[in-house]
């Protein structure tokens, strides 16, 4: 981390970290999903699992769980709101920068955390397409 770099989280990041949307609490079998994605972050080793329910080629609903940090939790919470209702192709186009913009910017050295949920969603969509 560079000297003078901002350590402050935006209000939106704090809100999504403290009140994560679409977080899968407890037993995975309670959420009826069509496909799951699982990825690890090569930078820190944290993991993310993403569960998607698909109808008419759209993400009807989704849930996620992670061992990731506060930034990963806030980012994936934001991603889950952005992705819901999108077609699979639209969801694949959501970038880590879209998530960062939605949250009002993560600290630069935490940007890599936003990639975790993004990659898990991509993996879930790939697995869904392989299974249908």
Catalytic residue ranges: 44, 113
Q: Binding to ligand FES by residue 111, rule CB under 6 A?
A: no
Q: Binding to ligand FES by residue 90, rule CB under 6 A?
A: no
Category of 84 on φ-ψ map: left (φ > 0), alpha (ψ -120 to 50) or beta = beta
Q: Which lies closer to ligand FES via its Cβ, residue 37 or residue 68? A: 68
Among the candidate windows 1-9, 16-24, 66-74, 89-97, which touches ligand FES by CB under 6 A?
Answer: 66-74
Q: Binding to ligand FES by residue 82, rule CB under 6 A?
A: no
> Least separation, in Å, of the C-beta of 131 and ligand FES?
27
Tell me the three state secondary structure of residue 30: helix
Q: If we measure between CA atoms, which residue out of 26, 4, 15, 6 comes closest to residue 70?
A: 15
Q: Binding to ligand FES by residue 44, rule CB under 6 A?
A: yes
Contacts (Cβ under 8 Å, ≥6 apart) of 113: 41, 44, 46, 68, 69, 71, 72, 75, 106
CB 37 within 8 A of CB 54: no
| Contact footprint for ligand FES (CB under 6 A) | 41, 44, 46, 68-69, 71-72, 113, 116
């Amino acid at each position: 981390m560079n000297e003078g770099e901002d350590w402050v989280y935006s209000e939106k990041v704090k809100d999504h970290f403290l009140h994560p949307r679409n977080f899968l609490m407890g037993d995975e079998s309670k959420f009826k999903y069509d496909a799951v994605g699982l990825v690890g972050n090569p930078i820190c080793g944290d993991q993310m699992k993403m569960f998607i329910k698909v109808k008419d080629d759209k993400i009807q609903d989704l849930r996620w769980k992670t061992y990731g940090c506060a930034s990963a939790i806030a980012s994936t919470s934001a991603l889950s709101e952005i992705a819901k209702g999108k077609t699979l192709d639209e969801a694949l186009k959501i970038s880590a920068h879209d998530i960062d913009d939605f949250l009002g910017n993560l600290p630069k050295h935490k940007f890599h955390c936003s990639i975790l949920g993004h990659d898990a969603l991509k993996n879930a969509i790939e697995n869904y397409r392989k299974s249908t």
